[in-house]
Amino acid sequence: MQQQVEILPPLTRLSEDEALFRDSVYEFADREIRPLVREMDEHQKIPRELIDKLFEMGVMGIEIPEAFGGTGATFFHSVLAVESISRVDPSVGVLVDVQNTLVVNAINRWGNDDVKRRYLSRLANGTVGAYALSEAGSGSDAFALATRAADKGDEFVLSGRKLWITNGNEADIFIVFANLNPDAGYRGITAFLVERGMAGFTVGKKEDKLGIRASSTCELLLEDCRVPRANVLGEVGKGYKVAIETLNEGRIGIGAQMIGLAQGALDHTIKYTKERKQFGKPIADFQGVQFQIARAATALEAARLLVYNSARLRDAGQPFLKEAAMCKVFSSEVAESVASLAVNLYGGYGFVKDYPVEKLFRDAKIGQIYEGTSNLQLQTIAKQILG
Ligand SMILES: Cc1cc2nc3c(=O)[nH]c(=O)nc-3n(C[C@H](O)[C@H](O)[C@H](O)COP(=O)(O)OP(=O)(O)OC[C@H]3O[C@@H](n4cnc5c(N)ncnc54)[C@H](O)[C@@H]3O)c2cc1C
Going by pLDDT thresholds of 50, 70 and 90, the confidence category of residue 149 is very high
Going by pLDDT thresholds of 50, 70 and 90, the confidence category of residue 226 is very high
Higher per-residue confidence, 284 vs 12: 284
- CA dist 170 and 47 (Å) reads 10
Going by pLDDT thresholds of 50, 70 and 90, the confidence category of residue 280 is very high
pLDDT of residue 2: 64
Q: How far is CA 90 from CA 135, 263, 302, 353, 382, in A?
A: 24, 11, 20, 16, 29
- CA 30, distance to chain mean position in Å, is 19
- Residue among 299, 287, 300, 284 nearest 346 (CA): 284
Q: Read out DSSP for 160-206? A: EEEEEEETTTTEEEEEEEEES-GGGGGGGEEEEEEETTSTTEEEEEE
DSSP 207: P
Catalytic residue among 135, 170, 323, 371: 371
Packing angle of the helix pair 75-86, 16-28 (nearest 10 deg): 30
| DSSP strands (E only) in the chain | 128-132, 148-151, 155-166, 171-179, 189-195, 201-206, 217-228, 232-233, 277-278, 281-282
Q: Whose Cα sits closest to atom 38 in ligand 1? A: 140
pLDDT of residue 112: 98
Residue pair 116/173 in contact (Cβ under 8 Å)? The answer is no
Q: What counts of helices (H) and strands (E) characterise the chain?
A: 12, 10
Report the pLDDT averaged over residues 132-145. 98
Residue pair 37/50 in contact (Cβ under 8 Å)? The answer is no
At 266 the three-state DSSP class reads helix
CA 374 to ligand 1 center in whole angstroms: 9
The per-residue pLDDT for range 87-134, each reduced to its tens digit, is 999 999 999 999 999 999 999 999 999 999 999 999 999 999 999 999
pLDDT beyond 70 at 1: no
Nearest-atom index, ligand 1, CA of 374: 47
Report the pLDDT averaged over residues 257-283. 98
**Residues in the ligand 1 pocket, defined by CB under 6 Å:** 98, 131-134, 139-140, 164-166, 209, 217, 366, 369-373, 375-376, 379
Residue pair 79/257 in contact (Cβ under 8 Å)? The answer is no
- CA dist 178 and 188 (Å) reads 8
Residue pair 181/150 in contact (Cβ under 8 Å)? The answer is no
Question: Candidates 91, 105, 140: which one to mutate for ligand 1, based on the most atoms within 8 Å of Cβ?
Answer: 140
Q: Whose Cα sits closest to atom 48 in ligand 1? A: 373
The per-residue pLDDT for range 56-84, each reduced to its tens digit, is 999 999 999 999 999 999 999 999 999 99
Going by pLDDT thresholds of 50, 70 and 90, the confidence category of residue 9 is confident
Residue pair 78/315 in contact (Cβ under 8 Å)? The answer is no
CA 8 to ligand 1 center in whole angstroms: 39
Can you name the residues that pair with 150 across neighbouring β-strands? 157
- CA dist 27 and 53 (Å) reads 13
Q: Whose Cα sits closest to atom 4 in ligand 1? A: 164
Nearest-atom index, ligand 1, CA of 102: 8
Catalytic status, residue 371: yes
CA 305 to ligand 1 center in whole angstroms: 26
Q: Whose Cα sits closest to atom 26 in ligand 1? A: 139
User: Does this model's pTM top 0.95?
Assistant: yes
Q: Whose Cα sits closest to atom 17 in ligand 1? A: 370
- CA dist 139 and 181 (Å) reads 20
pLDDT of residue 3: 75
Q: Whose Cα sits closest to atom 16 in ligand 1? A: 370
CA 371 to ligand 1 center in whole angstroms: 7
CA 373 to ligand 1 center in whole angstroms: 6
CA 369 to ligand 1 center in whole angstroms: 6
